[in-house]
Amino acid sequence: MAAEPLGTQSIQAVAPASAPDLERAAAPERAPFDEPVTDWRQRHLLDVDSLTRDEILRILSTANAMAEVLERPVARTPALRGVTIFNLFYEASTRTRSSFELAGKILGADVINMSGSGSSVEKGESLVETLNTLSAVGANAVVMRHPASGAPWLAARTIDGHIINAGDGQHAHPTQALLDAYILLREFGDLDGRKVVIVGDILHSRVARSSIWSLTTLGAEVTVVAPRPLLPASMAAGAAEREHPLALPHVRVSSDLDEAIVGADAVMALRIQNERLRGKLLPSTAEYARRYQLTAERVAEAAPHAIVMHPGPMNEGVEIGVDVAHSPQSRIEAQVSAGLAVRMAVLFLLIRGGA
Ligand code: CP
């Protein structure tokens, strides 16, 4: 028997949801994907903090419609035919890069992948000059990952095309935050008052920063948990139990996972970013795992319906137990699958939108 293509397995894993906040989804019959979107006003996606609650829900409901496209026998639509998208990745990626590439191709766009190595960056070409070159060869949109926080903002000022931030330094990862919100909405219908715990290397995590913003904008109560050296200074100062010092509503900071996880609706573990720690801040991985690893015993203290999330890539056995990562409560594979529909929605709205 012929092996099932990997893409089909992924696509089936993210069937469209009937959650209330996702049901605004414009079904393809009602809003054909080959017509312009006249009511979308964002030209770029740099971070979720520039999106209103309605705009976040619009992306996620469009992702739900895209999930319907992915269920078709031939998962293709010509919505972005004639569009050229460059995936410009200066940092390693598996999930984000592959799903953006597939998303563009399913929507009918021409997608060109570029990384720092093998491009003229190796000969000393600057980011601005690289972007000008991509613009000159006809890029309509650039999806970029860069180790420098803020690089996508520079890009948005440099070229006329659409810029989509696929992760910049320690700063922001908006499509990861959107797909995480999509998974939570599919699970719970709405996020009002839902308790979400984010535990791990908050200091270096662009996922944490963007997810805190999107989840609280959708009504969730977020508790970030980390040892003080792995909290940003602004949060570490308030690590006892007071509200986030930057005055983000509905965000609490704790260094006690065993206390914070009690009754949680969802727990998201973050990777220890060894490449950014460079041996500092975390003297003992074993001690970290003892106090902060998502173990089955700790997850048992969350709500009975609680789900477990991780943006990946995982250090199994460090921030998350192997059994927990692959348990029935885990939505980690579903997160990866949802990334395709969410990134299709982002490309479609930005490129076919009015801005
Ligand atoms: N979550 C995430 O950004 O994964 P990749 O680095 O594999 O893209």
Res 29: pLDDT: 42
Res 236: pLDDT: 66
Res 242: pLDDT: 47
Dihedral sign for Cα atoms in the order 48, 53, 55, 58:
positive
Does ligand 1 lie within 6 Å of residue 84's CB atom?
no
pTM above 0.75, yes or no: yes
Does ligand 1 lie within 6 Å of residue 311's CB atom?
yes
Does ligand 1 lie within 6 Å of residue 315's CB atom?
no
Contacts of 325 by beta carbon, 8 Å cutoff, 6+ apart: 308, 310, 314, 316, 332
β-sheet bridge partners, residue 195: 221
| Residue 26 CA to its chain's centroid (Å) | 22
Instruction: Compute, in angstroms, the gap from residue 97 CA to the centroid of ligand 1.
Output: 8
Q: Is the pLDDT of residue 80 over 50?
A: yes
Q: Which helix or strand (DSSP H or E) is residue 168 part of?
A: strand 162-168
CA distances from 31 to 39, 79, 105, 175, 181 (A): 12, 11, 20, 23, 23
Percent of the chain as helix, strand, coil, to the nearest 5: 40, 15, 45
What are residue 238's phi and psi, to 5 degrees? -110, 25
Least confident of 59-73, 265-279, 303-317: 265-279
Does ligand 1 lie within 6 Å of residue 271's CB atom?
no
Q: Which residue, 169, 167, 88, is CA-closest to 129?
A: 88
Instruction: Compute, in angstroms, the gap from residue 217 CA to the centroid of ligand 1.
Output: 23
Q: Is the pLDDT of residue 335 over 90?
A: yes
Instruction: Compute, in angstroms, the gap from residue 250 CA to the centroid of ligand 1.
Output: 27
Helix (H, G, I), strand (E, B) or coil at 265: coil
Helix (H, G, I), strand (E, B) or coil at 301: coil
Residue 173 CA: nearest ligand 1 atom is 3
d(CA 171, CA 206) in angstroms, rounded, equals 5
Q: Is the pLDDT of residue 124 over 90?
A: no
pLDDT top residue among 355 and 217? 217
Instruction: Compute, in angstroms, the gap from residue 104 CA to the centroid of ligand 1.
Output: 17
Does ligand 1 lie within 6 Å of residue 339's CB atom?
no
Does ligand 1 lie within 6 Å of residue 210's CB atom?
no
Question: Of 143, 146, 176, which is best to mutate to test ligand 1, by the most ligand atoms within 8 angstroms of its C-beta?
Answer: 176
Q: Is the pLDDT of residue 277 over 70?
A: no
Q: Which residue, 252, 271, 272, 265, is CA-closest to 331?
A: 265
d(CA 355, CA 241) in angstroms, rounded, equals 42
Q: Whose CA is nearest to atom 3 of ligand 1?
A: 96
Question: Of 10, 90, 94, 336, which is best to mutate to test ligand 1, by the most ligand atoms within 8 angstroms of its C-beta?
Answer: 94
Q: Write out pLDDT tens, residues 299-326.
A: 999 999 999 999 999 999 999 999 999 9
Q: Is the pLDDT of residue 327 over 70?
A: yes
Res 270: pLDDT: 97
Q: Write out pLDDT tens, residues 209-232.
A: 999 999 999 999 999 999 988 998
Does ligand 1 lie within 6 Å of residue 176's CB atom?
yes
Res 233: pLDDT: 79
pLDDT top residue among 24 and 286? 286
Residue 145 CA: nearest ligand 1 atom is 8
Q: Whose CA is nearest to atom 5 of ligand 1?
A: 93
Q: Whose CA is nearest to atom 6 of ligand 1?
A: 93
Res 10: pLDDT: 35
Does ligand 1 lie within 6 Å of residue 312's CB atom?
yes
Residue 92 CA: nearest ligand 1 atom is 6
pLDDT top residue among 185 and 1? 185
d(CA 244, CA 251) in angstroms, rounded, equals 6
- The mean pLDDT value for 336-348 works out to 97
Does ligand 1 lie within 6 Å of residue 162's CB atom?
no
Question: What are the structural domains, with CATH classification, of the chain?
Answer: 22-173+336-352 (3.40.50.1370), 176-335 (3.40.50.1370)
CA distances from 140 to 23, 137, 159, 162, 305 (A): 30, 10, 10, 6, 43
What's at 314, amino acid-wise?
A: M
Residue 312 CA: nearest ligand 1 atom is 1
- The mean pLDDT value for 155-171 works out to 96
Does ligand 1 lie within 6 Å of residue 93's CB atom?
yes
CB 325 within 8 Å of CB 314? yes
Q: Is the pLDDT of residue 350 over 90?
A: yes
Instruction: Compute, in angstroms, the gap from residue 270 CA to the centroid of ligand 1.
Output: 12
Q: Write out pLDDT tens, residues 190-215.
A: 999 999 999 999 999 999 999 999 99
Long-range contacts, 122-129 (Cβ 8 Å, 24+): 127/151, 127/154, 127/155, 128/154, 128/158
Residue 339 CA: nearest ligand 1 atom is 1
